[in-house]
Amino acid sequence: MNAATSAIPLPFDHAEAHAHLSRADKRLAALIERVGEFQFKLDECESVYESLLEAIMHQSIAGKAARAIFARIQALGSNGNCPTPEELLRVSTRTLRKVGLSRAKVAAVRDLAQKTIEGVVPTLAQAEKMTDQELVERLISVRGIGAWTVEMFLIFRLGRPDVLPIHDYGVQKGWAITYRKKSIPKPKDLLKFGERWRPYRTVASWYMWRAVQLAGKDARKITKAKPARKRAVAAKGVAVKPRTIRKRAV
Protein backbone atom coordinates (compact mmCIF):
# COMPACT_ATOMS: atom_id res chain seq x y z
CA MET A 1 0.00 0.00 0.00
CA ASN A 2 1.00 3.56 -0.59
CA ALA A 3 -0.37 6.33 1.59
CA ALA A 4 -0.47 8.57 -1.47
CA THR A 5 -3.15 6.40 -3.07
CA SER A 6 -5.77 6.80 -0.35
CA ALA A 7 -7.10 9.43 2.02
CA ILE A 8 -7.37 6.75 4.70
CA PRO A 9 -4.25 6.37 6.90
CA LEU A 10 -2.64 2.99 6.34
CA PRO A 11 -1.93 0.77 9.36
CA PHE A 12 1.47 -0.52 8.31
CA ASP A 13 4.67 0.46 6.52
CA HIS A 14 4.73 -0.86 2.96
CA ALA A 15 8.53 -0.45 2.75
CA GLU A 16 8.97 -2.74 5.75
CA ALA A 17 6.57 -5.22 4.15
CA HIS A 18 8.64 -5.23 0.95
CA ALA A 19 11.85 -5.78 2.88
CA HIS A 20 10.41 -8.58 5.01
CA LEU A 21 8.89 -10.47 2.07
CA SER A 22 11.99 -10.06 -0.07
CA ARG A 23 14.13 -11.59 2.70
CA ALA A 24 11.71 -14.45 3.27
CA ASP A 25 11.00 -15.47 -0.33
CA LYS A 26 13.37 -15.13 -3.31
CA ARG A 27 10.68 -15.80 -5.92
CA LEU A 28 8.43 -13.17 -4.37
CA ALA A 29 11.40 -10.78 -4.14
CA ALA A 30 11.84 -11.07 -7.92
CA LEU A 31 8.13 -10.41 -8.48
CA ILE A 32 8.24 -7.37 -6.20
CA GLU A 33 11.22 -6.03 -8.13
CA ARG A 34 9.37 -6.50 -11.40
CA VAL A 35 6.01 -5.06 -10.32
CA GLY A 36 7.24 -2.25 -8.13
CA GLU A 37 5.69 -0.70 -5.05
CA PHE A 38 2.67 -2.27 -3.37
CA GLN A 39 -0.23 0.15 -3.75
CA PHE A 40 -3.96 0.31 -4.09
CA LYS A 41 -6.70 2.66 -3.04
CA LEU A 42 -8.66 1.58 0.01
CA ASP A 43 -12.43 1.44 -0.12
CA GLU A 44 -13.77 4.57 1.58
CA CYS A 45 -17.30 3.37 2.42
CA GLU A 46 -18.41 5.06 5.62
CA SER A 47 -19.71 1.91 7.35
CA VAL A 48 -19.29 -1.85 7.48
CA TYR A 49 -22.90 -2.11 6.33
CA GLU A 50 -22.31 -0.05 3.19
CA SER A 51 -19.07 -1.87 2.37
CA LEU A 52 -20.77 -5.27 2.63
CA LEU A 53 -23.79 -4.03 0.69
CA GLU A 54 -21.48 -3.15 -2.18
CA ALA A 55 -19.67 -6.49 -1.83
CA ILE A 56 -22.97 -8.37 -2.24
CA MET A 57 -23.56 -6.51 -5.52
CA HIS A 58 -20.23 -7.84 -6.85
CA GLN A 59 -20.91 -11.49 -6.08
CA SER A 60 -21.07 -13.56 -9.32
CA ILE A 61 -21.42 -10.43 -11.47
CA ALA A 62 -18.90 -8.60 -13.65
CA GLY A 63 -17.50 -5.44 -12.09
CA LYS A 64 -19.14 -2.96 -14.48
CA ALA A 65 -22.61 -4.47 -14.03
CA ALA A 66 -22.17 -4.68 -10.26
CA ARG A 67 -21.19 -1.00 -10.05
CA ALA A 68 -24.24 -0.04 -12.09
CA ILE A 69 -26.57 -2.00 -9.78
CA PHE A 70 -24.94 -0.54 -6.67
CA ALA A 71 -25.42 2.97 -8.07
CA ARG A 72 -29.13 2.24 -8.47
CA ILE A 73 -29.25 0.92 -4.90
CA GLN A 74 -27.57 4.10 -3.66
CA ALA A 75 -30.18 6.19 -5.47
CA LEU A 76 -32.86 4.61 -3.27
CA GLY A 77 -31.55 6.46 -0.22
CA SER A 78 -32.55 9.94 0.88
CA ASN A 79 -30.59 12.93 -0.44
CA GLY A 80 -28.66 10.74 -2.87
CA ASN A 81 -26.92 8.84 -0.07
CA CYS A 82 -26.77 5.07 0.32
CA PRO A 83 -30.04 3.94 1.94
CA THR A 84 -29.79 3.36 5.67
CA PRO A 85 -30.66 -0.14 6.92
CA GLU A 86 -34.07 1.16 7.96
CA GLU A 87 -34.69 2.69 4.53
CA LEU A 88 -33.54 -0.44 2.74
CA LEU A 89 -35.96 -2.62 4.70
CA ARG A 90 -38.82 -0.37 3.57
CA VAL A 91 -37.98 -0.85 -0.13
CA SER A 92 -40.30 -3.38 -1.76
CA THR A 93 -39.08 -6.63 -3.25
CA ARG A 94 -40.42 -5.50 -6.60
CA THR A 95 -38.28 -2.36 -6.54
CA LEU A 96 -35.15 -4.26 -5.49
CA ARG A 97 -35.71 -6.77 -8.28
CA LYS A 98 -36.24 -3.93 -10.73
CA VAL A 99 -32.86 -2.36 -9.95
CA GLY A 100 -31.18 -5.66 -10.76
CA LEU A 101 -31.05 -7.83 -7.63
CA SER A 102 -31.71 -11.55 -7.81
CA ARG A 103 -34.09 -13.04 -5.26
CA ALA A 104 -31.10 -14.41 -3.35
CA LYS A 105 -29.50 -10.97 -3.20
CA VAL A 106 -32.76 -9.37 -2.08
CA ALA A 107 -32.78 -11.78 0.85
CA ALA A 108 -29.09 -11.09 1.51
CA VAL A 109 -29.34 -7.29 1.59
CA ARG A 110 -32.39 -7.44 3.83
CA ASP A 111 -30.63 -9.75 6.25
CA LEU A 112 -27.62 -7.41 6.20
CA ALA A 113 -29.85 -4.44 7.00
CA GLN A 114 -31.65 -6.28 9.79
CA LYS A 115 -28.44 -7.55 11.41
CA THR A 116 -26.95 -4.05 11.19
CA ILE A 117 -29.95 -2.67 13.10
CA GLU A 118 -29.62 -5.48 15.66
CA GLY A 119 -25.92 -4.74 16.15
CA VAL A 120 -24.62 -8.03 14.77
CA VAL A 121 -22.86 -6.08 12.02
CA PRO A 122 -20.51 -3.74 13.91
CA THR A 123 -19.89 -0.07 13.30
CA LEU A 124 -16.65 0.84 11.56
CA ALA A 125 -15.17 2.04 14.85
CA GLN A 126 -16.05 -1.29 16.49
CA ALA A 127 -14.69 -3.28 13.54
CA GLU A 128 -11.33 -1.53 13.73
CA LYS A 129 -10.91 -2.82 17.30
CA MET A 130 -11.86 -6.41 16.46
CA THR A 131 -9.48 -9.15 15.36
CA ASP A 132 -9.67 -10.62 11.87
CA GLN A 133 -11.13 -13.86 13.21
CA GLU A 134 -13.73 -12.04 15.32
CA LEU A 135 -14.92 -10.16 12.25
CA VAL A 136 -15.06 -13.30 10.13
CA GLU A 137 -17.12 -15.14 12.76
CA ARG A 138 -19.46 -12.17 13.23
CA LEU A 139 -20.03 -11.25 9.60
CA ILE A 140 -20.47 -14.69 8.04
CA SER A 141 -23.67 -14.95 10.07
CA VAL A 142 -25.17 -12.54 7.51
CA ARG A 143 -26.94 -14.30 4.67
CA GLY A 144 -24.84 -14.26 1.50
CA ILE A 145 -21.63 -13.21 3.28
CA GLY A 146 -18.87 -15.82 3.28
CA ALA A 147 -15.30 -15.83 4.53
CA TRP A 148 -13.97 -14.55 1.17
CA THR A 149 -16.22 -11.46 1.29
CA VAL A 150 -15.07 -10.69 4.82
CA GLU A 151 -11.43 -11.15 3.79
CA MET A 152 -11.91 -8.61 0.99
CA PHE A 153 -13.39 -6.21 3.56
CA LEU A 154 -10.41 -6.76 5.85
CA ILE A 155 -8.00 -6.04 3.00
CA PHE A 156 -9.67 -3.29 1.03
CA ARG A 157 -11.52 -1.36 3.74
CA LEU A 158 -9.62 -1.92 6.95
CA GLY A 159 -6.21 -2.33 5.34
CA ARG A 160 -5.29 -5.30 7.53
CA PRO A 161 -1.72 -6.41 6.69
CA ASP A 162 -1.89 -10.16 7.28
CA VAL A 163 -4.88 -11.56 5.38
CA LEU A 164 -4.39 -14.52 3.03
CA PRO A 165 -7.54 -15.36 1.00
CA ILE A 166 -6.70 -19.00 0.33
CA HIS A 167 -9.90 -19.62 -1.66
CA ASP A 168 -9.37 -16.67 -3.99
CA TYR A 169 -8.79 -18.02 -7.50
CA GLY A 170 -6.60 -15.07 -8.45
CA VAL A 171 -4.29 -15.61 -5.48
CA GLN A 172 -4.15 -19.34 -6.17
CA LYS A 173 -3.38 -18.82 -9.86
CA GLY A 174 -0.83 -16.09 -9.12
CA TRP A 175 0.95 -18.47 -6.75
CA ALA A 176 1.09 -21.18 -9.42
CA ILE A 177 2.52 -18.70 -11.94
CA THR A 178 5.08 -17.27 -9.52
CA TYR A 179 6.32 -20.67 -8.34
CA ARG A 180 6.11 -22.26 -11.82
CA LYS A 181 3.42 -24.84 -11.11
CA LYS A 182 1.08 -26.32 -13.72
CA SER A 183 -1.98 -26.28 -11.50
CA ILE A 184 -3.38 -24.13 -8.71
CA PRO A 185 -2.69 -25.19 -5.10
CA LYS A 186 -5.21 -26.60 -2.68
CA PRO A 187 -6.29 -24.00 -0.11
CA LYS A 188 -4.67 -25.94 2.74
CA ASP A 189 -1.36 -26.09 0.85
CA LEU A 190 -1.48 -22.37 0.08
CA LEU A 191 -2.19 -21.66 3.75
CA LYS A 192 0.83 -23.70 4.79
CA PHE A 193 3.09 -22.07 2.20
CA GLY A 194 1.89 -18.61 3.17
CA GLU A 195 3.28 -18.93 6.69
CA ARG A 196 6.59 -17.61 5.36
CA TRP A 197 4.83 -14.36 4.37
CA ARG A 198 3.60 -13.48 7.88
CA PRO A 199 2.91 -10.78 9.04
CA TYR A 200 2.36 -9.33 5.55
CA ARG A 201 0.25 -11.94 3.78
CA THR A 202 -2.04 -9.21 2.43
CA VAL A 203 0.90 -7.70 0.56
CA ALA A 204 1.97 -11.09 -0.78
CA SER A 205 -1.61 -11.74 -1.94
CA TRP A 206 -1.63 -8.42 -3.80
CA TYR A 207 1.50 -9.49 -5.67
CA MET A 208 -0.12 -12.81 -6.56
CA TRP A 209 -2.92 -10.84 -8.27
CA ARG A 210 -0.31 -8.80 -10.11
CA ALA A 211 1.40 -12.01 -11.27
CA VAL A 212 -1.81 -13.02 -13.03
CA GLN A 213 -1.99 -9.64 -14.75
CA LEU A 214 1.61 -9.89 -15.90
CA ALA A 215 1.04 -13.39 -17.28
CA GLY A 216 -1.81 -12.19 -19.49
CA LYS A 217 -3.23 -14.93 -21.71
CA ASP A 218 -0.63 -17.40 -20.42
CA ALA A 219 -2.46 -17.41 -17.09
CA ARG A 220 -5.17 -19.50 -18.77
CA LYS A 221 -2.76 -22.43 -18.92
CA ILE A 222 -2.93 -22.77 -15.14
CA THR A 223 -5.82 -25.05 -14.22
CA LYS A 224 -7.13 -26.99 -11.27
CA ALA A 225 -5.27 -30.20 -10.52
CA LYS A 226 -6.95 -33.41 -11.64
CA PRO A 227 -8.13 -35.81 -8.92
CA ALA A 228 -5.53 -38.48 -8.10
CA ARG A 229 -7.65 -41.30 -9.57
CA LYS A 230 -8.07 -39.49 -12.91
CA ARG A 231 -4.35 -38.74 -13.09
CA ALA A 232 -3.45 -42.38 -12.52
CA VAL A 233 -5.92 -43.69 -15.09
CA ALA A 234 -5.00 -41.04 -17.66
CA ALA A 235 -1.34 -42.00 -17.33
CA LYS A 236 -2.26 -45.55 -18.35
CA GLY A 237 -4.35 -44.31 -21.26
CA VAL A 238 -7.56 -45.84 -19.90
CA ALA A 239 -10.87 -44.01 -20.00
CA VAL A 240 -12.20 -42.99 -16.63
CA LYS A 241 -15.55 -44.52 -15.81
CA PRO A 242 -17.85 -42.68 -13.45
CA ARG A 243 -18.10 -44.29 -10.05
CA THR A 244 -21.29 -46.13 -9.28
CA ILE A 245 -23.41 -44.23 -6.78
CA ARG A 246 -25.18 -46.58 -4.41
CA LYS A 247 -28.37 -45.40 -2.83
CA ARG A 248 -28.36 -45.67 0.91
CA ALA A 249 -31.20 -47.67 2.38
CA VAL A 250 -33.74 -45.50 4.20
User: Hey, which residues are catalytic here?
Assistant: 168
* Whole-angstrom distance, CA of residue 160 vs CA of residue 135: 12
C-alpha distances out from residue 154 to 134, 212, 232, Å: 11, 22, 41
Residue 57 corresponds to which amino acid?
M
Rounded to whole angstroms, the Cα distance separating 227 from 41 reads: 39
> How many CA atoms are closer than 13 Å to the CA of 221, on its beta-carbon side?
9
Q: How many CA atoms lie within 13 A of 45 on its CB side?
A: 23
Distance (Å, rounded) from C-alpha 101 to C-alpha 91?
Answer: 12
Torsional sign, CA 186, 192, 196, 200: positive
| Sequence-ordered strand ranges (E) for the chain | 183-184, 223-224
Cα–Cα distance, 62 to 189 (Å, whole number): 29
Strand-pair partners of 183: 223
Contact 238, 196 (CB under 8 A): no
